């Protein structure tokens, strides 16, 4: 028998509710109408929205631009960056038109069988200050654009057509980076019986684990009288393992303990997932059923030992990630997230911090499946402001509600091993801030006693004096490498987390001379050097963190700022234009690795060797000039050759942090040809080599897809790296050709990105310049199966052609 696709099953469950006794979930992804502007009359059922734009959700209205310095121009001193004098800033929130009011409308149909049921509306992300109306009546509102929230709309719905209207308002000066705009995550309608399991009402923990057996504790909150709960655990292959029936709830909560024999433990190396299926009965009638994925794993944080997972000391090799996905903006897309996480996995990264916002459900699902430890963060502001219209306006009324929703919605993810109550909040100063930190931490503990709480602290001296840092479960230091020793001696926890580290800045494929270590260095082209020696006034280069991570067992890991470039915060060029996205990323905005990627990989990826040469070797006009060569490698020594002539052997040593982690030939003089490096193992045997060659003129376009088969669901994306080579197939690292993109067949052109923080070309236009010889084209599926053809062309270049396959 042919299996129904999940989407079809979902549709049938929703439209034929009479056949089901449990629940149905309908994701409202299509048939949306959108218009920017204030249309209060749009709450009315008969409002004519026929001239509004038709969109799908998730949707980010601002990513389509244009870039405009006047969008977020402001005169401000960024206190977190140590600034004392206000200066004019541009591009701080991405210079995209996210400010203003907009409306979304959708009409969904409920079958007659839904009468008398409990109907809920779930929003996974709405930027910002959403007001929700159903059939002309206001059902509720929220404030925080990053929070998940839901409303019981049973009293507002009607059998048949229902009109949903959502008003969103983005104020200026409400964020320190690009927040996105619109219904940027999923919206769902949930239909269930009145006797049912509460929304996010299940909490799965594993309080006892041995090699022979694990105890799985499942607490389930449910509504209704005379109910009984049957929970069955299945392994990853779908085999039924054990089951328990409970007839006595404690209050509204069932408390079950189920044995799993010979448990397979979840970890980044072996992300094994079980499933608990809970069925709620009244008598013999099934009233509700939910399925919860979980992992069996044990976490501990211990003084002088640090973090352990399943009894093994584990360091966080983590990155911070903002929620935007480059050319897609804030609109969540699972294939884009999966690509990011594959790139991070290859780097050896094992942890992600959702900074400074609540993570998407999709990101957490992938973290569970792919094996990432997760630090789930809540706020960038508490009661004291950083920006004029920030979260401080809502803190008193919403902070507890937002934390409750964050924890209850996500606590069953085994990937989450820590909560963050905030980041660099000005409340670090003074007694009131200490009390707020304690209050927030206690809310987290009440909702989830199994995980600790941290705050990313930048005012470390202040938190030492006030007691702020001492009360936290995990003291998180943002930068301040010079204060680690003092913080460790004064804080009682017995360990320190690098909750935010490095903030090294670089532009992919751009190299500046002379090669020296600099802070806040600026150049006429508004780029930063990819020799990875430039940082900000408050930050540092990666090697300084590596020393602490390697030499101090009480330093339990780091979360690098950032894994990928993001829209907004173009430091050190936030006083310059055009400059509209960050330079902090280990990977650029297109997801292409910078040189720094290989520096981290050489230390973090212990399974595969790394050998990477920089810079490129196209320096026409600089013949005879000093052009240092760096090698990022997991090997401890290597020999460099320029056109066959040895430049000598370099060995890693502890004379400086850079010499400890990089091999550097500082006196090489440029001559066109071939740069070759030969790496040696610890016995002096040559075991690997790498070459970089001088390229001729651009000749041909080359296409390389991350996946050649995509799913025909209207959402899946193939990311195609576009580069240019010369007649001999050598990549042209300085090419800036203007290219055009054409997609035909069972797919559409979605966007392009070249990773240039100064580019004002719009992502959705079917043309873009190469940056440092590369860019990425995003090809999106439709709902039709078949071939998808991409052609990329440019004046004077041999076109590149690629065929993808979209399958059902």
Does the domain spanning 197-294 belong to CATH 3.30.200.20? no
Query: What are the Cα distances from residue 338, in Å, to 344, 414, 561?
Result: 10, 18, 20
CA gap 229, 250 in Å, rounded? 12
How far out from the chain centre does Cα 188 lie?
Answer: 22
Question: pLDDT digit string (tens) for 466-480?
Answer: 999 999 999 999 999
**Helix (H) and strand (E) counts in the chain:** 11, 48
Question: pLDDT digit string (tens) for 365-387?
Answer: 999 999 999 999 999 999 999 99
- With beta carbons less than 8 A apart as the criterion, state whether 252 and 246 touch: no
Span 398-416, average pLDDT: 98
Q: With cut-offs at 50, 70 and 90, classify the pLDDT of residue 89.
A: confident
Question: pLDDT digit string (tens) for 96-134?
Answer: 999 999 999 999 999 888 889 999 999 999 999 999 999
Distance linking the first and last C-alpha atoms of the chain: 16
623 catalytic per annotation: no
CA gap 225, 79 in Å, rounded? 55
Question: pLDDT digit string (tens) for 677-699?
Answer: 999 999 999 999 999 999 999 99
CA gap 90, 581 in Å, rounded? 10
Q: Which of 181, 198, 182, 180 is nearest to 190 (CA)?
A: 198
Domain boundaries of the chain, sorted by first residue: 6-64+97-192, 197-294, 304-604, 700-807
The answer on pLDDT for 582 being more than 90 is yes
244 catalytic per annotation: no
Same fold, 304-604 and 700-807: no
Question: pLDDT digit string (tens) for 140-191?
Answer: 999 999 999 999 999 999 989 999 999 999 999 999 999 999 999 999 999 9
Mean pLDDT in the chain? 95
Maximum Cα–Cα distance for the chain, whole Å?
A: 88
Question: pLDDT digit string (tens) for 314-345?
Answer: 999 999 999 999 999 999 999 999 999 999 99
Residue 685: how many CB atoms within 10 A of its CB? 8
Question: pLDDT digit string (tens) for 481-529?
Answer: 999 999 999 999 999 999 999 999 999 999 999 999 999 999 999 999 9
Q: In what order do the strands lie in the sheet with 306-309?
A: 299-302, 306-309, 312-313
Q: With cut-offs at 50, 70 and 90, classify the pLDDT of residue 76.
A: confident
The answer on pLDDT for 249 being more than 90 is yes
SS3 779: strand
Question: pLDDT digit string (tens) for 594-609?
Answer: 999 999 999 999 999 9
Q: Which superfamily does CATH assign the domain made up of 304-604 to?
A: Glycosidases (3.20.20.80)
The answer on pLDDT for 716 being more than 90 is yes
Question: What's the burial of 51, exposed, middle or buried (CB within 10 Å: 0-12/13-18/19+)?
Answer: exposed
Q: What is the pLDDT of residue 677?
A: 98
CA gap 604, 347 in Å, rounded? 7
Q: With cut-offs at 50, 70 and 90, classify the pLDDT of residue 75.
A: confident
Q: Which of 341, 398, 550, 375 is nearest to 456 (CA)?
A: 375
Omega before residue 128 within 30° of 0, cis: yes
The answer on pLDDT for 10 being more than 80 is no
700-807: CATH topology is: Immunoglobulin-like (2.60.40)
- Above pLDDT 90, what percent of the chain? 94
Q: What is the pLDDT of residue 21?
A: 66
The answer on pLDDT for 6 being more than 50 is no
Structure tokens at 19: 């056949």
CA gap 178, 564 in Å, rounded? 14
Q: What is the pLDDT of residue 393?
A: 98
| Among 129, 289, 424, 569, the one annotated catalytic | 424
Report pTM: 0.96
Phi, psi of 549 (to 5 degrees): -65, -35
CA gap 16, 83 in Å, rounded? 61
Residue 654: how many CB atoms within 10 A of its CB? 9
Q: Which of 395, 388, 443 is nearest to 420 (CA)?
A: 443
The answer on pLDDT for 577 being more than 80 is yes
- With beta carbons less than 8 A apart as the criterion, state whether 611 and 728 touch: no
> What CATH code is assigned to 6-64+97-192?
2.60.120.260
| Among 381, 500, 569, 639, the one annotated catalytic | 500
CA gap 142, 149 in Å, rounded? 8
Span 236-244, average pLDDT: 98
Q: With cut-offs at 50, 70 and 90, classify the pLDDT of residue 799.
A: very high
């Amino acid at each position: 028998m042919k299996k129904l696709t999940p989407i079809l099953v979902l549709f049938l469950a929703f439209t034929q509710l009479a056949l089901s006794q449990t629940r149905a979930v309908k994701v409202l992804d299509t048939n949306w109408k959108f218009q920017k502007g204030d249309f209060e009359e749009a709450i009315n059922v008969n409002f004519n929205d026929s001239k509004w734009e038709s969109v799908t959700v998730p949707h980010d209205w601002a990513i389509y631009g244009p870039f405009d310095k006047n969008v977020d121009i402001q005169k401000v001193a960024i206190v977190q960056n140590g600034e004392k004098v206000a200066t004019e800033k541009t591009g701080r929130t991405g210079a995209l038109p996210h400010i203003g009011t907009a409306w979304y409308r959708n009409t969904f149909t409920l079958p007659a069988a839904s009468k008398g049921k409990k109907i809920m509306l779930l929003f996974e992300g709405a930027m910002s200050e959403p007001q929700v109306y159903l059939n002309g009546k206001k059902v509720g509102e929220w404030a925080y654009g990053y929070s998940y929230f839901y409303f019981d709309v049973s009293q507002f719905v009607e059998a048949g057509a229902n009109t949903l209207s959502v008003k969103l308002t983005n104020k200026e000066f409400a964020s320190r980076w690009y927040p996105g705009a619109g219904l940027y995550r999923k919206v769902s309608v949930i239909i269930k019986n009145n006797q049912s399991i509460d929304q996010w009402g299940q909490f799965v923990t594993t309080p006892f684990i041995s090699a022979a057996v694990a105890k799985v504790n499942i607490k389930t909150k449910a509504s209704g009288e005379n109910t009984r709960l049957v929970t069955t655990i299945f392994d990853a292959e779908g085999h039924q393992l054990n089951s328990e029936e409970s007839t006595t709830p404690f209050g509204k909560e069932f408390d079950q303990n189920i044995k799993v024999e010979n448990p397979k433990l979840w970890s980044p190396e072996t992300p094994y997932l079980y499933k608990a299926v809970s069925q709620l009965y009244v008598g013999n009638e099934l009233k509700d059923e939910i399925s919860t994925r979980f992992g069996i794993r044990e976490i501990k944080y211990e003084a002088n030992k640090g973090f352990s997972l399943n009894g093994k000391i584990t360091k966080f090799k983590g990155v911070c990630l903002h929620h935007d996905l480059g050319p897609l903006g804030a609109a969540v897309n699972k294939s884009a997230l999966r690509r990011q996480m594959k790139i991070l996995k290859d780097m050896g990264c094992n942890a992600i911090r959702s900074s400074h916002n609540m993570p998407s459900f999709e990101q957490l699902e992938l973290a569970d499946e792919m094996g990432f430890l997760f630090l789930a963060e809540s706020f960038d502001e508490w009661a004291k402001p950083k920006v004029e219209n920030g979260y401080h306006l809502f803190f008193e009324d919403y902070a507890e509600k937002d934390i409750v929703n964050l924890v209850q919605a996500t606590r069953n993810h085994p990937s989450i091993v820590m909560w963050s109550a905030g980041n660099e909040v000005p409340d670090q100063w003074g007694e009131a801030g200490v009390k707020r930190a304690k209050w927030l931490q206690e809310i987290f503990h009440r909702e989830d006693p199994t995980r600790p709480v941290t705050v990313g602290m930048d005012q470390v001296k202040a938190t030492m004096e006030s007691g702020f840092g001492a009360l936290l479960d995990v003291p998180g230091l943002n930068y301040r490498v010079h204060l680690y020793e003092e913080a460790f001696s004064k804080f009682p926890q017995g360990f320190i987390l690098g909750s935010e580290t490095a903030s090294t800045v670089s532009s992919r494929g751009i190299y500046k001379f002379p090669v020296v270590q600099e802070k806040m260095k600026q150049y006429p082209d508004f780029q930063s050097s990819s020799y990875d020696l430039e940082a900000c006034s408050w930050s540092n280069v990666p090697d300084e963190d590596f020393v602490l991570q390697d030499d101090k067992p009480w330093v339990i890991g780091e979360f690098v700022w950032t894994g990928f470039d993001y829209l907004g915060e173009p430091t050190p060029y936030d006083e310059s234009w055009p400059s509209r996205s960050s330079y902090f990323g280990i990977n650029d905005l297109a997801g292409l690795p910078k040189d720094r990627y290989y520096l981290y990989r050489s230390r973090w990826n212990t399974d595969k060797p790394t050998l990477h040469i920089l810079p490129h070797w196209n320096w026409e006009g600089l013949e005879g000039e000093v052009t240092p060569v760096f090698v990022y490698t997991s090997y401890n020594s290597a020999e460099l050759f320029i056109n066959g002539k040895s430049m000598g052997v370099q060995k890693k040593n502890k004379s400086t942090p850079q010499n400890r982690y990089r091999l550097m030939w500082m006196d090489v003089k440029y001559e066109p040809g071939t740069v070759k490096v030969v790496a040696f193992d610890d016995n002096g045997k040559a075991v690997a080599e790498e070459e970089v060659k001088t390229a001729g003129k651009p000749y041909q376009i080359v296409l390389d897809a991350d996946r050649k088969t995509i799913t025909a669901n209207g959402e899946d994306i193939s990311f195609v790296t576009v580069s240019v080579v010369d007649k001999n197939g050598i990549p042209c690292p300085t090419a800036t050709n203007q290219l055009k993109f054409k997609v035909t067949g069972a797919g559409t052109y979605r966007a392009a990105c070249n990773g240039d923080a100064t580019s004002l070309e719009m992502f959705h236009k079917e043309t873009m310049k190469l940056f440092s010889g590369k860019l990425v084209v995003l090809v999106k599926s439709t709902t039709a199966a078949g071939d998808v053809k991409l052609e990329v062309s440019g004046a004077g270049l041999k076109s590149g052609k690629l065929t993808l396959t979209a399958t059902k």
